[in-house]
Amino acid sequence: MIFNQNCFYTFHNTEIENDSHYLNKKNLATITVSDNSKQYLETTFKNILIERIRLSINENCFNFNKEKKKQICFMPRKLNEDIIQILNILNLRGKLKNWEFIPIDNKSEEEVSKIMKDSFIFLSLNYKEGFGLPPVEAMACGCIVIGYTGQAGKEYLKPDFSFPIEERNIIDFVNTIEKVALDIEKNEDFYLNMSKKASKYVSENYNYSNEQNDTLTIWNKIVNLYKNKI
């Protein structure tokens, strides 16, 4: 059994044309965590069982809050070179003087959720993601998410309630942050309703019940498939 949490590392430290351990006859199945990873693995390995589990967030910690500050939060550890450019350009343009930018780094889960609940906007720096949990947690807290999907995030960063940005497109990122933040100042209720849709989508899809059901369904399928061979 292989649990693949990020398809983009499937061939990490592997030479070209090496036989893959995924094709080992002892590998009963491969389980992954996003639609994108499942598609990647199914494209790569044609004759093995590949299943996907929906991950869950901590719903007791990450849940909707409508009381928002003019605050934009982000996690600077990934693609730090991008966020440095984005923040410097925004600062030099000087249009968001009413907004505060809050980095989330070296924080407890409770501290992270508090910042997200207070923030109106979360900047996604997803990059080569197996799933990409932080934007999902931010959506649950009622943030409008602007940023990169990291490929896996295409399943949840939907244009109905978020603003996906083409990977590494700094100018589009900057322009979208400015537009959304200034629009919020004029029409806060519209964006609060959008954030409610995002939070509802997360609570309906990435909850513990779905993760548990997916896990049990997949393991029952594997057991039934191989019970005469084990």
Mean pLDDT of 108-123: 98
Check pLDDT > 70 for residue 141: yes
Q: Which residues contact 63 (CB under 8 A, 6 or more apart)?
A: 140, 141, 199, 203
Check pLDDT > 90 for residue 113: yes
- Is residue 143, in this structure, part of any structural domain at all? yes
Helix (H, G, I), strand (E, B) or coil at 5: coil
- 52 and 160 co-located in one domain: no
Check pLDDT > 90 for residue 27: no
Q: What is the pLDDT of residue 230?
A: 58
- 148 and 193 co-located in one domain: yes
- 18 and 75 co-located in one domain: no
- 130 and 221 co-located in one domain: no
Helix (H, G, I), strand (E, B) or coil at 103: strand
Q: What is the pLDDT of residue 26?
A: 84
Q: What is the pLDDT of residue 175?
A: 99
Check pLDDT > 90 for residue 82: yes
- Is residue 184, in this structure, part of any structural domain at all? yes
pLDDT-wise least confident of 1-15, 55-69, 176-190 = 1-15
- Is residue 61, in this structure, part of any structural domain at all? no
Query: Which residue range is the domain that position 101 belongs to?
Result: 69-205
- 117 and 214 co-located in one domain: no
- 78 and 112 co-located in one domain: yes
Three-state SS string over the chain comes to CEEECCHHHCCCCCCCCCCCHHHCCCCCCEEECCHHHHHHHHHHCCCCCEEECCCCCCCCCCCCCCCCEEEEEECCCCCHHHHHHHHHHHHHHCCCCCCEEEECCCCCHHHHHHHHHHEEEEEEEECCCCCCHHHHHHHHCCCEEEEEECCHHHHCCCCCCEEECCCCCHHHHHHHHHHHHHHHHHCHHHHHHHHHHHHHHHHHHCCHHHHHHHHHHHHHHHHHHHCCCC
- 221 and 191 co-located in one domain: no
Mean pLDDT of 58-78: 97
- Tell me the per-residue pLDDT of 89-112, one tens digit each, with 9 for 90 and over: 999 999 999 999 999 999 999 999
- 128 and 48 co-located in one domain: no
CATH code of the domain covering residue 136: 3.40.50.2000
- 76 and 151 co-located in one domain: yes
- Is residue 62, in this structure, part of any structural domain at all? no
User: Between residues 14 and 122, which one has the greater pLDDT?
Assistant: 122
Check pLDDT > 80 for residue 18: no
Domain count, the chain: 2
Question: Which structure tokens are listed for 61?
Answer: 């910690």
- 82 and 190 co-located in one domain: yes
- 138 and 151 co-located in one domain: yes
Q: What is the pLDDT of residue 193?
A: 98
pLDDT band at 22 (very low <50, low <70, confident <90, very high): confident
pLDDT-wise least confident of 44-53, 169-178, 219-228 = 219-228
Q: What is the model's pTM?
A: 0.93
- 145 and 101 co-located in one domain: yes
Q: What is the pLDDT of residue 10?
A: 92
- Is residue 63, in this structure, part of any structural domain at all? no
